[in-house]
Amino acid sequence: MRFFISANIKKNTPLYYAVLFFLVFALLFWLASWVHFYSKYGFSQESLVRYFFMDPEFPERVSIAQVSEDFHVGVFIHGMLLITLFSLLNITVLSKKTKLMLIASTSFFALLFLLSDFLILLLGTKTVMLKLLSFLAYQLNYLITWLLTTLYILRDEQNSPKTDTLKLISLTFAFFSLFFLFSNFLNFHAKMGFGVEGIRNYFLGNPDLFIRAKSFNGVFKVFYPHLIAMAIYSLALAHLLPFAGVKRRTALWIGIFLFIFSFLDNLTSLLLLFLGSPLAYLKLLSFWSFQLLAVGSSLVLLVGSLKGTEGARLYL
């Protein structure tokens, strides 16, 4: 986002074309979202009830572990996508009021769409339409934001970014970040609990509990995408901290430790298969170190964005 607040991007040809390619892929993602929603949930109340509660006569809820896993992936993808799109929206000549309204409404409906699975499981079959309605509202707001951003960038109608909008973008990311970390806790607890013995059983198996050991292929499928995903997350969170008044040097070290802890958490999953149960202690330590540092950083970003500190102006 630093590139999007410092200059007219059309004067930087490589960046300009990179932005255009991003906007093309952002539109393709929007189109694919309709196919994904239909294939997973359908567009009727009956299909939604069937997904969340199986047979209405004999309701069986989707597991909280599955919902948490879907939320974990979704909040990361949509959070990163929206922060980039909002950053581009902020350099257009649209009025500050319009920008703030689009960012707030799109973020709200995105989070409602992602959180609706939990609400439906909590409130029952009568609320399943919340999933479809929140999806439609999010898709509409996203499309309007994309269209206006693309139109003004193609017409080269750009302006200096507004500090208030930057603060709202930072605030939005802070919420996405906290929900992402919350889903981390849920996933970890659902799979392994919060103890060393649970980690050992999950990765190495336990015949007494009829738990099979994880295979290398299975663990590597999780390890591989998390390498880039956690690097992107650590970078995004750390580089926004100066907008909340955190010194840039401090933000840099926070970013480095975020990546180190997340990498160790990821790597120890593989090492456990080869080096055995002692690595479970490092797995647990690195997980909690990352989570606590990331939660603390997200709260600092949240409070700094709400207070309207001078950090954003100083950083610019």
CA dist., res. 102 & res. 87, Å (int): 12
Instruction: Look at residue 1 and tell me whether its pLDDT is greater than 60.
Output: no
Residues 6+ apart with CB under 8 A from 227: 263, 266
pLDDT band at 56; cut points 50, 70, 90: low
Name which residue leads in pLDDT, 194 or 253. Answer: 253
Tokens of 150: 């693309």
Q: Locate 198 and state its tokens.
A: 């649970």
Which pair of tokens denotes residue 21? 């390619």
- Asked whether residue 310 carries a pLDDT value surpassing 60, the answer given is no
Per-residue pLDDT at 316 = 41
Lowest mean pLDDT among 52-66, 110-124, 181-195: 52-66
Write down the H helix ranges in the chain.
13-40, 45-53, 64-89, 96-123, 129-154, 163-192, 196-204, 216-240, 248-275, 279-307, 311-315
- Indicate the pLDDT class of residue 161, thresholds 50, 70 and 90: low
Over range 204-226, report the average pLDDT. 84
> How many CB atoms are located within 10 Å of the residue 195 CB?
11
DSSP 42: -
Residue type, 69: E
- State yes or no: pLDDT of 53 exceeds 90: no
What percent of the chain stands above pLDDT 90? 50
Amino acid at 290: F
- The maximal CA–CA distance of the chain, rounded, in angstroms, is 67
Rg (CA), the chain: 21
- Cα distances from 20 to residues 111, 287, 295, in angstroms, run 26, 37, 33
Calculate the CA dihedral of residues 249, 255, 261, 262 and round it to 10 degrees. 180
Instruction: Inform me whether the pLDDT recorded for 196 exceeds 90.
Output: no
